[in-house]
Each structure stands twice: as C-alpha cells, then as structure tokens.
Amino acid sequence: MKKNKRIELLSPAGDLGRLKIALLYGADAVYIGGREYSLRANATNFSIEEIKEACSFAHALGKRVYQTVNIVFHNEDIDGIYDYLEKAVDAGIDAFIVSDPFIISYIRKNFPNVEVHVSTQNSTTNVETVKFFQKEGVSRVVPARELSKEEIKELVGTGCDIEVFIHGAMCTFFSGRCTLSNYLTNRDSNRGGCSQVCRFAFDIDSDDNHKFTMATKDLNMAEHIKDMIEIGVASLKVEGRMRSHYYLATVMSSYRKIIDACYDGTLTDELLERQKRILSRVANRENSTHYFTHMADENDQYYTGRQELSNQDFLAYVLDYDKENHIVTISERNYFEPGTEVEIFMPSGKEISFVVDKIYNENMEVVEKACHPEEILKLKVDEMIEPSSMMRIRVE
Amino acid sequence: MKFIIIPKDIKDLDLYKNKGADTFIFGLEDYCINYPSLSLEKIKELSQDTNIFVAMNKNIFNSELEDVKDKLVELSKLPILGVLYYDLGILNIVKNYDISIDLVWHQTHMVTNYNTCNYYYDKGVKYGYLANEITLEEILDINQRTSMNLMVQVFGYPIMSHSRRSLLSNYFKSIDKNKENRIYHLKEKEEQYLLKENKDGASILFGKLINGTRPLFDMIQNNISYGVLDVQEVDFKIGEKVYDQFSYILNHISDITSEEKEQIILDMNQLIGDSTNFFYKKTVYKVKKGDSNEKK
C-alpha cells in the first residue's frame, strides 16, 4: 500500500495551453486526450507532437501526464490503436487511462514501463472488480462516482491506487451505462460523442405541468479532502477537459491550497470557507458531495430546467510585469472600472487584492473602463506579479 | 440460431412454451436490471424443466459481494444455461472460487468489438450479449472473428441508460406528489421513452420496439447463436406473433423468396413499427466540421 505517498492532484487538460496552466497552478499530474480514442472527442485534444511537448513540460516540473484511451472500442477502432499507443509511449506518456480491457494486456506486454489506469467508464463499484483489474496489471482504478466514503475506503484496502473525482460535472447515470446520446442525437456516448441528453427537459405523462429533468448538480469535495487523505486515496481528480484556463487555474489553486494545508496542519475553517467560496463562484451550477456522504437524493438534482449562471468574475489574464515601473500588463476578459475591488492570484498560490485606480491602454493613456475582451491594458500595482497570473473580482 | 425469450413474468412462461419457445432469461432477485426477477428458490424450481439463463447484471457493491458469491455457488448447482453478468467482480468471484458456471458477458452497451469478446472468451466466458448500439455489419464481423456464442436482441424496447439515482421518486418529491408504481413515459420532440424505477435506481428505455426482422435473415445465415426477444413490455398477442414470424423465418430461411421476405418485413413493420435501431445506422462521435482527424 502506498498510504504514505502524498495525495496527487490531477487536472484535466483539453489542450496544451490548459495543460500548462493546470500544472503551473498546482496540479501534480494532468490527464489529456489524444485526437483519437478519447471520450471527449470534441475537445481540441492533443496531436502526438503536442503530447511530446506536454510530457516535456510536465516532466521538467517533476509532474506526470496520463492519456485517456477510454472509448469503448468498435471493430473499426481496433486496427490503428496499437501504432497509436506506441507513438504516445514514445512521446513520453506516463500512463494510459483505459476502459476496454483488451488494451490493458497489450499495454502491459508491450510497454511495461507505462502504467495502466482503469477509467471510471467501467463503473467499478467493488473490491472484486478492483482485484480483477489488479491481476491484469492495472496499477490504478478510477471507481464509479456512485460510491460512499466507506466503499471507497474498502477499495483502497486492495492496495490498488484509487483515484477519486472531487470536482466538476456529474453524470446522472452510471458511466458506461448510458447511451441516451446515441438514441436521441445519434452521437456515441461511449466513444466520446456524449451530447449531455441528461440535461434536456422532457414531458412526462403525469397529471401536472412540470417538465421532467434529471440533471445533477456538480460535485464539490473541498470539505472532504482531509477525509480522502486519511482513507488513503491516491489521486484527486477534477472533471472537465473542455473547461477554461481561468476555471482550471482557480480550481487547481484552491485544491492545492487545501491539500497543502491538510499536510502542513494549517487547514483552518477560514481557509476552507474561502476556498469553497472561490470554487462556488467559478462554477456555473450548484454543487453537492453526492454519494460520498449520503445516497444521492432529490437535493442533488435540478427539476425546473437548467439553472446555470454565467460568471463574469474573471477580469484579466496577466501578460507581463514591469518591475521597474510597477506596471502590470493584462489582457482584459470581463468588464471592470476604476473602483472595482479585484484580486490577482498567481501560480505560486500568492494572492493580492486591491482597488483598481487608473486603467491605461497600451500607450499608457488613461481609459475610463475595461470593456473590450482581449484588449491589452495596464495597471499600476506595487507588488511583483508572476507571469500567467489572473485577475478576478475580489472574493469576500 | 435459437431464440431466447425475456418474458414479462413467470406467468407468461407457459404461453410462450406452448408456442414452442424453450429458452428464457430471468433475473435473479436483487441483482438484475430490466429483467423479470425471480427468487433463487423459484429459479431452482424453474430450472428443473426449463432452459434458463439467469441475469445478474447490476453493478455490485461491496456489501453485496458475500451474498453474490453464495448465490453464484447455488446457481452453479443448477442445470441453468449460464449467468449474465455486467460487473467484472462476478467474473473475478467465479474464477477465484473456481465456481463451475457458464458466463455471459453482458456489459450492456460495451459489448461492441471482437477483440474484447476474444479477451473474455480466453478467460472462459462462453457467451457474449452484444450491445444494441452497433450495426449489423459489426455484429456479423464480430461473429466471424470470435468463438464466443453471441446473443443479439432482435425484438423489444432497448435499454438506453441506468442510474443509481431514484429519478422518478426524486422528481415526484420535488413537486410534492406521489409516484405511482408504473412505467412513466417521457417525451422529447416527437420521441417517447420509458422510465422505470426500482430500489436499485432508474432505467430509461427507448420508446420504439426494435424490429429485427430484416437483419434476422442475415443473422441466421451467418450463424449468430441467439436472437433475443424481449417481450416484457408488450402484450402477449404481439409477442406471440413476433415469435411465430421469427420462428417461421428461422425454419424456412432457405425457402423464403425475396418477394416473400419483403412481404414479411412489411407485415412486421405494420405490427411492431419499422425501427431497426442501429442495425443499419452508424453512430457518430466527432461532430466538428472539417476535422482532419475525423473518422471516415
């Protein structure tokens, strides 16, 4: 058992830019999809050249890259897979995340130095299934998202690394057990085409006028990271390969702080509450702990259609900092004006907050407000700002 | 080919037996999803004079493992044809405890290629129940490339999804109304879906019956082992006509002219609708236009 190993924070990355942000903001590892065989077929995803660059970048930071090859294969998908795996291994991939078991034995036999992780697509719910995969040479299992803390703890007891989802969107149905997308939109959910039919609204043959919906609230496990560490979970996984740079930076940064505080013994209610507020603000849906703490019930779903809020907290991306003149150059994302209370959060975890005074354009001419996305603007900030930092509305 | 019937319940058994049906699937109480469920005692009794496969196709949780092992041991003592499993924990238990029982790989939507069929066949799994979401061409190709005995659903409502959540109960709680103990119908645009719930969660079925008449001809000619008729949600009057017609095709395949074939298909379309599900329709999964990596 690897109980003493520090828990891993695992981020999604839909492309190279996102991968770099996730790693800079605190992820220990990232999972990516190639252009083939991945369950997010419509994310940008990575070419083999990009995988090579991703691995070089991650490895230079002492971090790891896992590649999803987790489609449920049809006959036509089989022929190309072997060459593809070899290219990914040559590019430096540390592990493959798979769901179709025939690939497991192939990888173990041909690439013994590459780990195999079993995808949540397999909806592993018990220790016998974990043992089955262990015998096949799997080093890590991502179990079904339908498990309680006690059930996860029992899986950890097998000695297999257990990776648990902690944040992001949830499936209404068992992963792998849903083909709504196939039937309603002709898009194959088990080959990366999921069109999120579980978020549609349906008529139902009951005597009322309510629409039937079954969409779930998002997952947010910030409050239970300490529990995860205590029960010996190996990796904490965040959902969302198609999420934005800002979302990834925020989520990674918050969980990094919580994890580090757990290990340092500095986790306070204040710290936790602040990170929970930050995480809630970056999401566009309500959240819940779902099965980890209770059998998911009526409070974990939506019933009156989608209740998603747009979020305009992300104000600007930091491009540069002029140390001599204390000027930060930013690329604007959302409206702000002099007097707006903002904070800049940095890859190192450092945060500074201030009230915006004057806003300058590229020629250092004062402008009234920042209202053109991607416009290059400048602000005077006394404190040193790290590259790749981000500016948001101040979270009280 | 042989036909397997999934009846509505045990009361329908004799009706189909009288038509000549001799192989059935029942679910084991507490461990099946979308099958007529029977207690172990009833299965013991039934297996003495009826060919049955037993479905244990739910996701198994840790607290159930010991009982699952005991049930598998008991089932192995019976003259049943095999156990349909979804959870790989069942395969592990059977192997680990050396339980002598034939298994049917029944991971619902995941039984989609010949390589994985062969992977499980090499582990001693004799049967595979193919996913409803693959094409006839794929089915025939799999059959050619595996020694596994394949089952294909040729009639009935296909299951689309299963959740651990009590979707109906939750919904009715949210609107402060009582849920009735029945199948509910969902509608989106012009399509209809069947939603049912039990203590293990909720399942949604597609609202059009699979009409496998046309592909049945090819499946018989290509020696697919089993055609599955799921008659759980249809009247016996419909179920028996489908069984009769399919039996006629099976028994007279070499004598049926192309004109007669088309007439049979036409008649069946009138009886049960013309949905051939995915037999002739490929799903897509990359939707971006001009993506050079898009599969042809």
- DSSP label at residue B273: -
CB neighbours (10 Å) of residue A231?
Answer: 19
Which chain A residues are closer than 8 Å to B107 by Cβ? 176
B161 touches chain A (CB under 8 A): yes
Summary mean pLDDT of chain B: 95
What is the mean pLDDT of the segment spanning B203-229? 98
CA atoms of A351 and A146, how far apart (whole Å)? 36
The minimum CA-CA distance between A196 and chain B, rounded to whole Å, is: 13
Which ipTM value was assigned to this complex? Answer: 0.94
Selected for mutation to probe chain B from A188, A194, A217, A307 (highest B CB count within 10 Å) is A188
Helix locations, chain B, DSSP H: 13-19, 40-47, 65-76, 88-96, 114-122, 136-145, 167-174, 213-221, 236-252, 258-272
CATH topology of domain B2-156+210-251: TIM Barrel (3.20.20)
User: B296: which chain A residues are within 8 Å (Cβ-Cβ)?
Assistant: none
For the segment A166-181, what is each residue's pLDDT rounded down to a tens digit? 999 999 999 999 999 9
User: In chain B, positions 257-296, which contact chain A (CB-CB < 8 Å)?
Assistant: 278, 281, 283-288, 293, 295
Cβ B87–A126 below 8 Å, yes or no? yes
Residue type for position B296: K
Tokens 């060919």 found at = B51
Contact criterion met (CB < 8 Å) for A132 and B62:
no
Classify A329 as helix, strand or coil: strand
Half-sphere exposure of B221 (CA within 13 A, CB side): 10
Task: Quickly tell me which residue has 């250092």 as its tokens.
Answer: A364
The string of DSSP letters for B141-155 reads HHHHH--SEEEEEEE
- In chain B, residues with a C-beta closer than 8 Å to the C-beta of A128 are 60, 65, 87-90, 92-93, 96
CA distance to A221, B4, B17, B32, B80, per residue, from B48 (Å):
52, 17, 15, 21, 8
Question: Do the Cβ atoms of A203 and B188 come within 8 Å?
Answer: yes
Question: What is the interface size between A and B, counted as CB pairs within 8 Å?
Answer: 212
B186 → closest Cβ in A78, A146, A202 = A202
Using CA atoms, how far apart are residues B195 and B202, in angstroms rounded to an integer?
Answer: 7
Nearest chain B alpha carbon to A105:
B119
- In tens digits, what is the pLDDT along chain A, a chain of 396 residues? 344 689 999 999 999 999 999 999 999 999 999 887 876 666 778 999 999 999 999 999 999 999 999 999 999 999 989 999 999 999 999 999 999 999 999 999 999 999 999 999 999 999 999 999 999 999 999 999 999 999 999 999 999 999 999 999 999 999 999 999 999 999 999 998 899 999 999 999 987 778 899 999 999 999 999 999 999 999 999 998 889 999 999 999 999 999 999 999 999 999 999 999 999 988 778 889 999 999 999 889 987 655 556 678 999 999 999 999 999 999 999 999 999 999 999 999 999 999 999 999 999 999 999 999 999 999 999 999 999 999 999 987
How is chain A split among helix, strand and coil, in percent rounded to 5?
A: 35, 25, 45
B98 reaches A (C-beta below 8 A): no
| A273 contact partners, CB below 8 Å, separation of at least 6 | none
Nearest-CA neighbor of B109 among A172, A130, A183, A126? A183
| Torsion-angle region of B124 (φ positive above 0: left; ψ -120 to 50: alpha; else: beta) | left
Q: Which tokens sit at B54?
A: 């037993």
Listed by number, the residues of chain B in 48-77 with a beta carbon closer than 8 Å to a beta carbon of chain A are 59-62, 64-65
Contact A101 B112 (CB under 8 A): no
Interchain CB distance below 8 Å, B165 and A203: no
- Residue B193's DSSP bridge partners are B186, B206
- What pTM does this model have? 0.94
Q: Among partner residues A129, A176, A177, which is closest to B92 by beta-carbon distance?
A: A129
Contact of B130 with chain A, judged by CB distance below 8 Å, is answered with no
pLDDT tier at B284 (50, 70, 90 boundaries)?
Answer: confident
Provide the pLDDT for residue A33.
92
Beta-strand runs (E) in chain A: 8-12, 29-33, 64-69, 95-98, 115-118, 140-141, 161-168, 203-204, 218-220, 235-238, 287-288, 314-322, 327-332, 341-345, 351-355, 359-361, 366-367, 376-380, 390-393
> Where do the domains of chain B lie?
2-156+210-251
Query: CB–CB of A178 and B109 under 8 A?
Result: yes
The pLDDT, as a whole number, for residue A11 is 98
Task: pLDDT band for B296, please (50, 70, 90 cuts).
Answer: very low
For the four alpha carbons of A337, A342, A348 and A350, in that order, the dihedral sign comes to positive
Residue B89 to residue A74, Cβ atoms within 8 A: no
Task: Judge whether B112 is closer than 8 Å to chain A, CB to CB.
Answer: yes
Q: Which of A42, A133, A187 sits opposite B288 (nearest CB)?
A: A42
| pLDDT, greater one: A283 or B17 | B17
Q: pLDDT class for B105, splitting at 50, 70, 90?
A: very high
pLDDT (0 to 100) of residue A44: 75
| Residue with token string 């397999």 | A122
The confidence score (pLDDT) of residue A37 equals 82
Cα B283 versus chain centre, distance: 20
Strand partners, B159: B205
Bridge partners (DSSP) listed for residue A235? A8, A163
Rounded Cα distance between A161 and A166, Å, is 16
**Nearest CA-CA partner of A216 in A203, A197, A199:** A199
Alpha-carbon gap, residue A171 to A198, rounded angstroms: 8
How far out from the chain centre does Cα A121 lie?
Answer: 16
What's the average model confidence in pLDDT over B273-278?
Answer: 98
